Chain A
Amino acid sequence: DTEVTQTPKHLVMGMTNKKSLKCEQHMGHRAMYWYKQKAKKPPELMFVYSYEKLSINESVPSRFSPECPNSSLLNLHLHALQPEDSALYLCASSQVPTGATDTQYFGPGTRLTVL
């Protein structure tokens, strides 16, 4: 089973709202990732969690706040977003976080619209 699940599937929020995106995997993977994908563009890396610790933050604004409560769960907390933050947010996981030769498996994404 190579399934990564994400909820919600769609989210519409105002610029003053606080919301959270959730991601879950039960493959025993120890690395989890958040990517942002704008329409007709490739995914762009936002955060990397390695053994439940944040290892990479690709200069993402503080209005995006990741959290890894345990090895199976990854959250992305959203606050005071801007309309340009509207995008597909993808979660991925891979078995081992070290090295660069490990396959990442993606979830279906959350389609976020900021009004």
Chain B
Amino acid sequence: GESVGLHLPTLSVQEGDNSIINCAYSNSASDYFIWYKQESGKGPQFIIDIRSNMDKRQGQRVTVLLNKTVKHLSLQIAATQPGDSAVYFCAEGGGADGLTFGKGTHLIIQP
């Protein structure tokens, strides 16, 4: 299938600042998107999802934005903490078709 991708392999932010991680997808028919966090040596952990009939969804300290016009997805993390350090993957699809993952962004928190 078509793939989703991320713009930056690494993002370094100061502790306490807001982080924005971006993802571009190519399948205009996609209707479900997910952000996962993967810490070293662990499996991907669900953070937040959004369906194509929405353009914004908020969770605890996280917000996902979807721009279908330009096929762009972003994850905003407020007041970044050391525990947010991980690789973040966007993913598209799910259900019977499985997920297609983007390349991942490694978020590094500077003290």
Contact = CB atoms under 8 A, between A and B. Distances in A.
A111 B41 CA distance: 9
A43 B101 contact: yes
Nearest to A47: B98
B95 A109 contact: no
B46 A105 contact: yes
Contact of B98 (A41, A45, A111): A45
A48 B43 contact: no
Q: Chain B interface: which size bin?
A: 20 to 34
Contacts of A33: 98
A97 to B, nearest CB: 5
Interface centre among A33, A40, A92, A101 (most CB of B within 10 A): A101
Contact of B97 (A4, A56, A103): A56
Contact of B43 (A31, A50, A94, A108): A108
24 contacts: A4-B43, A35-B98, A42-B102, A43-B99, A44-B101, A45-B98, A45-B99, A45-B100, A56-B98, A92-B99, A96-B95, A97-B95, A97-B96, A99-B94, A99-B95, A99-B96, A100-B31, A100-B93, A100-B94, A103-B34, A103-B49, A103-B94, A106-B46, A109-B42
